Structure 1
Amino acid sequence: MIRTPLFSGILYIVLGLLFTYFAVQDVQRNGEWGIFTYLFVILATFDFGSGIRMVLFHFKVKAIQKDKK
């Protein structure tokens, strides 16, 4: 199976949402920001950034392929 940039981007965005959920749950459970909360937020940020970049890359490649035809 070939993973397209769109699939990878959506996967990264879902992981970003999951890490955001974990960060919110950690703050609600502990009542303060701990080391794991910061770790979850950092991971979510990297995943959202990578996901958006991959989705934009997918559409850029599709546009280039369309122009060549």
Structure 2
Amino acid sequence: MKLTLRTRAFIYFALGILFMYVALLNADGKSIWNFTTILFAVFATLDFGMAIRLLRINRKIKKK
């Protein structure tokens, strides 16, 4: 089964939200400057970026 670009973008967006949630839970109110919190935030950023890229590609394909 082949997933559409919009579905894949939604999955990446959901993963980004999940990683941000885990990063916020990991911060514990003490400090956000620990390795695991920053690592989860980086993964979330990459997922959000990939979701935006997939949505742009989907829009370009739809215009053609």
TM-score by length of 2: 0.89
**Is the Cα–Cα contact under 8 Å of residues 10 and 55 in structure 1 kept in the other structure?**
no
Higher helix fraction: Structure 1 or Structure 2? 1
TM-score by length of 1: 0.84
Post-superposition shift, 1:30?
5.6
Structure-2 residue corresponding to 1:67: none
After TM superposition, the runs of 4+ consecutive aligned structure 1 residues lying more than 2 A away are none
Structure-2 residue corresponding to 1:32: 31
- Secondary structure of the corresponding residue to residue 60 of structure 1: helix
RMSD between aligned alpha carbons?
Answer: 1.1
Structure-1 residue corresponding to 2:4: 4
Post-superposition shift, 1:60?
1.2
- Secondary structure of the corresponding residue to residue 38 of structure 2: helix
Q: In 2, distance between residues paired with 1:48 and 1:63?
A: 23
Runs of 5+ in structure 1 lacking a partner? Answer: 65-69
Structure-1 residue corresponding to 2:59: 59
Q: In 1, distance between residues paired with 2:18 and 2:2?
A: 24
Identity across the alignment (%): 33
Q: Which has the larger radius of gyration?
A: 1
Structure-1 residue corresponding to 2:46: 46
Q: In 2, distance between residues paired with 1:9 and 1:39?
A: 21
